[in-house]
Structure 1
């Protein structure tokens, strides 16, 4: 077997346990504040379990947005980093620059029943995305990037860059972030395209091109006696014209709010 794929053999058993419990990612962030806090603790490993809820306002027309449960899992050790639906295998670091092999579940898909406008559309599936990430840190500031490619029925590749900065006062933390994401043509076609057999009155055929999005968000955290962690995360994403031009899309932004509780063992 190709030795370059060996770390993913290590990730596979963990994914089998974690992904079913975290079908809705706890955060789409490249690097999460809870992850950074766990890494900073002087322990060989750190566990965290919790729960929450999330609401995402889809840009799709007449989409049936619902509040989704957010089971949360955090695990940090010398070689593995787990947060929500993301699992990293840690590669050697170079000073403040860390490198990871990354597996992330993304629930980007939809079904025809999710919106009257999607009637007659074939299902678009979410799935497991594999790739890598790099994280650079200086004090309370983090810059991170990731590249992932779809596996299974999903299609496409995506690149995300993100900057966040933590501000702390006592037990309260405020972590604003800004990021940019790029999607290749296959991704835009798969999730926002309209195939010839899906054309209906008021829904023309559409084949998109590569696109991008700009995201801004802020996470408010409160740590009670260090083990009890509460958070609220709010974000908004401005979509590129190649996505906005799709007949499936009715708004140029995608917004999200998540709140939850995490207990650190």
Structure 2
């Protein structure tokens, strides 16, 4: 199911982009993780995915399973990043009866940029813009995140909060219903732009010099433009994500 993992990866991806440029070490990471993210669509149960994790952190370049970034450092505290990312959102019409008669909504490919800042006093700040270049939604997204890593000898705890705005084209592509897709039980629906607020908590534990255990939980609100869609569960007011796993660095 395409839509499950996107809800999880927002905070993880923003945190990765914000932290890698400041702590790049020029190494690869390979591991395994269990991922679970809620879906707001009707009649679709959440599932747990066991997936490989491949990461790279270099002086100017970083790579994660859904995202690649090139960093340009302004000074020791501030840098900009060019971003390429997968938008793991959408559905196939055959997924369940909710989408019967709908056109498929495809995974998107986004390009964009971010401005990032870090200091020990205030933590990480990042503002990011992405736009679809794959002819899927052709929409835009703007995100802002604040994260504050609390580092111990082996354990790092990082609380974060984020805000996300999605354009009308993006929201309507994934949650709208065109007139030709409308049925007696599924009204036509034209969605407008939407905003989301959320928070996350991540834990990283350095088990050995090479092995790091990671986990994260996140939750976020749903805008009325999404909740009012006939494709979305009536009682959905928020979404969530969770992950746990390990990475071996070499």
**Structure 2 gap segments, 5+ residues each:** none
Whether 1:182 and 2:165 are equivalent positions in the alignment is yes
- The answer to whether the Cα contact below 8 Å between 2:131 and 2:141 also exists between their aligned partners in 1 is yes
| Aligned with residue 230 of structure 2, among 229, 239, 247 | 247
Q: Which residue of 2 aligns with 1:264?
A: 249
Determine the C-alpha separation between the residues in 1 that align with 2:68 and 2:189: 34
The SS at the match of 2:209 is: coil
Residue 238 of structure 1 is matched in structure 2 by: 221
| 2:129 counterpart of 1:147 | yes
Measured after TM superposition, the shift of residue 24 of structure 1 is: 5.2
Instruction: Name stretches of at least 5 consecutive residues in structure 1 with no aligned partner.
Output: 1-22
- 2:194 is matched with 211
Tell me the alpha carbon deviations over residues 68-103 of structure 1, each in whole angstroms, 9 at most, x when there is no partner: 233212212232111231111122424511101100
Q: 1:243 deviation in Å?
A: 1.2
TM-score normalised by L of structure 1 = 0.84
**Higher helix proportion (structure 1 or 2):** 1
Q: Displacement of 1:202 after TM fit? A: 1.9
SS, match of residue 84 in structure 2? strand
CA contact (8 A) 1:24 1:69 kept: no
CA distance in structure 2 between the partners assigned to 1:93 and 1:73 by the alignment: 28
Give the TM-score normalised by structure 2.
0.89
8 A Cα contact 1:75 1:82, kept in partner: yes
How do 1:82-161 and structure 2 match up within 5 A?
82-139=63-120, 141-155=123-137, 156-161=139-144
Write the mapping of 1:165-180 to structure 2, written as runs, cut at 5 A. 165-180=148-163
1:84 and 1:148 map into 2 onto residues whose CA distance is 17
Equivalent residue pairs, number: 241
- SS of match in other structure, 2:43: coil
> Per-residue CA shift, 1:41-68, capped at 9, x if unaligned?
6x5x221111112111101111243222
When the two chains are superposed, the root-mean-square deviation of aligned CA atoms in Å is 2.2
Superposition deviation, residue 240 in structure 1 = 1.0
Partner Cα separation in structure 1 for residue 207 and residue 146 of structure 2: 26
